[in-house]
Amino acid sequence: MAISLLSRTFATFALFTAMRTMNTMLLISFLGLLGCFRSVKSAPTPTAQSAPTVSFHSLSATDIHGKPFSFESLKGHKVMLVNTASECGYTPQYKQLQELHETFKDKGLIILGFPCNQFGGQEPGTEQEIEAFCEKNYNVTFQMMSKVEVKGAQQHPVYQWLTRKDQNGAMDAAVKWNFHKFLVNEDGRLAHSLSSGVSPLDEVVLNWLEGR
């Protein structure tokens, strides 16, 4: 009798713990999504911007294979930078990103995907696992980078530039969830900050690429 009661007590506790963990994860996702509805922030025209104190093309990062990637190679290209995750509600945007890449790569667009595990722990894998996931599920061929932090004390220098007006000369911005997108012009000027809920194929993106 005592053993049966003890077993039921442990089972009830385990169920309560599991439900609490699930509710916590749902709450994290919900709070993240609150800041991710369609939000577009556009920089002033280049003539109205302050000169960047840090040149976009002087930056560098590490690609998904651990090799240095110099942003000097991006001169003359329009660039989309996006923080990615493999277990997010927005993960299917990989398909749209790949479609955008295939449509505009010959017109000068370069897409840089930066895996990040800071939002809901939704990118827990290694670079090798991330690359395999992207290839298997979305046939990704655009440039993927090593995992970075896009906010906080360990924020990568590229994301410091993207989110700080005192560096980019255009605007402050905040990355609130996975698949936030930044658009940078051929001359290294920040043009748009697009929240996670904005599709990579949104008219804002297409108009920018077409120069409209």
- 134 is known as an active-site residue: no
Contacts 24+ apart (CB under 8 A), 107-111: 107/209, 108/76, 108/77, 108/78, 108/186, 109/77, 109/78, 109/79, 109/80, 109/209, 110/74, 110/77, 110/78, 110/79, 110/80, 110/142, 110/143, 111/79, 111/80, 111/81, 111/82, 111/142, 111/143
| Paired tokens of 57 | 């093309």
Active-site annotation holder among 36, 88, 116, 134: 88
Active-site residue list: 88
